[in-house]
Amino acid sequence: MANQKVSRIGVLTGGGDCPGLNAVIRVVTKAAIGQLGLEVYGIEDGFLGLIRNRMRPLTRDDVSNILTAGGTILGTSNKANPAKFATGKGPDGKPVFEDVTERVLEHIQDRRLDAIVCIGGDGTMSGATNLIRRGVKCIGVPKTIDNDLMSTDLTFGFTTAVQTATECLDKIHSTASSHHRVMVVELMGRNAGWLTLSAGLAAGADVILIPEIPYDIEKVCDACIQRDRRGKRFTLIAVAEGAAPRGGQQVVDKIVHDSPDPVRLGGVSTVLAEQISERTGLETRATILGHVQRGGTPVAFDRVLATRFGHKAVQLIAEGQWNQLVVWQRGAVDCVPIESVADRQRTLAPDDPMIAMARAVDTSLGD
């Protein structure tokens, strides 16, 4: 495959959905067809489409009028890793995982795909790395509302998720004030605090708890009590799903046994609300924003960023620069090897300017 002329490419969206995916599909399809004369195939449900051989041709008409739509017209999956795919259950009822990469390679050959544009986060880039090592040409495009992909300062979908979460926090802020309550709002982000810190700062949250800074429950409670004593009869707390107490563990919502990444975080807001209520006597409520953060139409910035990323992906194809991930670094589009970011997460550094900014406006970080 390494010396084969490119005439047909595939495009897939892997992992969790986010606003802006359709913008990338749109520009990749239109530019690849119109500027490079390539055929484009849409791979359904991420790597599952490669495993099940579910793909379809994409035309300009197929991707018209999808720029503003949330989600992905191709579908996605966060369970389908060809290197570790659940093919059934063993005698003990537990999933049996197999490496089905050979099957994927056969389907790629059957469909005569010369290269694949993989749109996703660290898990998707791990899957792409697996294919790259087997001789498949790939181009990566960085997607995640968590903004935790290595080597890129920004991923598309993040800005829209911050806007959505901020609007939710604003609405909860008003009801917290009306009822004089402590409101604990749980945001996504896995092991990274980018989303929670950004939305928390934008909404003026009084306490922001992120995975990178273990919190002290006594410090959190003290922040609530001090506000109450100053006549501020409510407290708004933004907490990341991956936040954990000092010396403690993250709260796990469930284990998805047939997933290669089985741990699903969630529920820390409920735990915190109970602890705050018991220790302070203040009326406390918990709200989990959940998948509302992934949905909806992308904001203008994400539409443009996703389009820039997708356009760069097509340029890399035209130049024969294979196995590269499009990235945003220091205000410009660039690229790095996909293999350099696989299975890694970008988290907030202790000296990040946003953390200093939060402290400067008297926001408690629970430490």
Q: Enumerate the active-site residues.
A: 146
Look at the chain and count its residues: 367
CA-to-CA dists, residue 131 to 6, 7, 42, 47, 278, angstroms = 17, 19, 17, 11, 52
Q: Which residues pair with 11 in a beta bridge?
A: 42, 117
Q: How many CB atoms lie within 10 A of CB 318?
A: 14
Tell me the three state secondary structure of residue 103.
Answer: helix
* Structural tokens at position 24: 């990338």
Question: 93 Cβ partners below 8 Å, 6+ apart?
Answer: none
What is the rounded distance in angstroms from the CA atom of residue 100 to the CA atom of residue 171?
Answer: 47
How many Cα atoms within 13 Å fall on the side-chain side of residue 75?
14
Cβ(181)–Cβ(337) below 8 Å: no
Give phi and psi for 329, each to the nearest 5. -130, 125
Cβ(251)–Cβ(209) below 8 Å: no
What is the rounded distance in angstroms from the CA atom of residue 203 to the CA atom of residue 186?
Answer: 14
CA neighbor of 134 nearest in space, from 178, 181, 101? 101
Eight-state DSSP code of residue 243:
-
Give phi and psi for 98, each to the nearest 5. -135, 155
